Amino acid sequence: MMKLADKVAIVTGAASGIGREIARVFASEGAKVVAADINYDGVLALSKEIESGAVAVKADVSKKDDVIRMVKEAIDRYGRVDILVNNAGIQTVRRFLDLKEDEWRKVIDVNLTGAFLCSQMVAREMVDRAVEGSIVNISSIHGYIPRIMKIHYDASKSGLIMLTKETALELAPYHIRVNCIAPGIIDTPMNQEVLAIPEKKKSMIERVPLKRIGEAMDVANAALFLVSQESSYITGAVIPVDGGLSLHP
């Protein structure tokens, strides 16, 4: 039996990487997928690859009007939303002393404010329709492990962890669960540049206790668990998918 039969799932940042794999896995388990991304060609291509099809929506999650349109598309097409995965995210590399305000705001707006807007609008629809839904936020182990040159990205991912915990508390009375995945080093387009350097990739693998770079499927499988009935008593959790990387002091 399919784990997500007839469930309606919105996945943001679905054009590539982790979001794309989550959309594919959900669809393979019977979900009706609404794939959203600012890269419309990417989600359109994804919708054609998925055997059961998917609704492709162009959306910048940092813009409220785009989020409203995205959620409306899902409701108009399927009449409800059961699942939301807040995966859309961007990152840049900049030292703190050189970081400009507009670059800070852009990363925060997409990674954190976007998740807030999507969660609020989808949760309102869930409450109105008495849907016992599930929301999953894709954060990072760097939401709680500091490093240099990515303060804006890491601050946004840290905020996403607290957004998870507080929305889990507020939405629990409506039987809406909210959980978070904190990936470590994952082989995605966002990390392609650094992973293409053999010595850097080797160094990264040496730091991971399980001695491999993660795949998008590793995160997608965790997301599937968190939105399925198998996790029906889990909410407010932050699950690292990092091969043990965050165990290092």
Write down the domain spans for the chain. 8-241
pLDDT at 25: 98
Residues of 133-161 as b/e, b for ≥16 C-beta within 10 angstroms?
A: bbbbbbbbbbbebeeeebbbbbbbbbbbb
In whole angstroms, what is the distance from residue 191 CA to residue 208 CA?
A: 16
pLDDT digits 0-9 by tens, 208-241: 999 999 999 999 999 999 999 999 999 999 999 9
Q: In this structure, which long-range contacts are made by residues 102-109, counting pairs with CB atoms below 8 Å and at least 24 apart in sequence? A: 103/152, 104/152, 106/62, 107/152, 107/153, 107/156, 108/152, 108/155, 108/156, 108/159, 109/62
Strands, E assignment, the chain: 8-12, 32-37, 55-58, 83-86, 134-138, 177-183, 238-241
Does the pLDDT value for residue 98 go beyond 80?
Answer: yes
Residue 144 designated active-site? no
The pLDDT value given to residue 209: 97
Which of 40, 153, 174, 233 is catalytic? The answer is 153
pLDDT one-digit tens code per residue, 139-194: 999 999 999 999 999 999 999 999 999 999 999 999 999 999 999 999 999 898 88
Helix (H) or strand (E) holding 167: helix 151-171
User: What pLDDT shows up at residue 248?
Assistant: 81
Q: 48-74 pLDDT, tens per residue?
A: 999 989 999 999 999 999 999 999 999
Q: Which fold has domain 8-241?
A: Rossmann fold (3.40.50)
Tokens standing for residue 96: 């703190």
- The Cα-based distances of 225 to 7, 29, 64, 116, 219 in angstroms read 14, 11, 29, 22, 10
pLDDT attached to residue 1: 86
Calculate mean pLDDT across residues 119-130: 98
Quote the pLDDT of residue 9: 98
pLDDT tens digits for 1-56?
A: 899 999 999 999 999 999 999 999 999 999 999 999 999 999 999 999 999 899 99
Q: Which two tokens stand for residue 121?
A: 């609008």
Q: Taking residues 116-137, what's their average pLDDT?
A: 98
Bridge partners (DSSP) listed for residue 35: 11, 56
CB 235 within 8 A of CB 178: yes
- The whole-number pLDDT of residue 45 equals 97
Res 249 pLDDT > 80? no
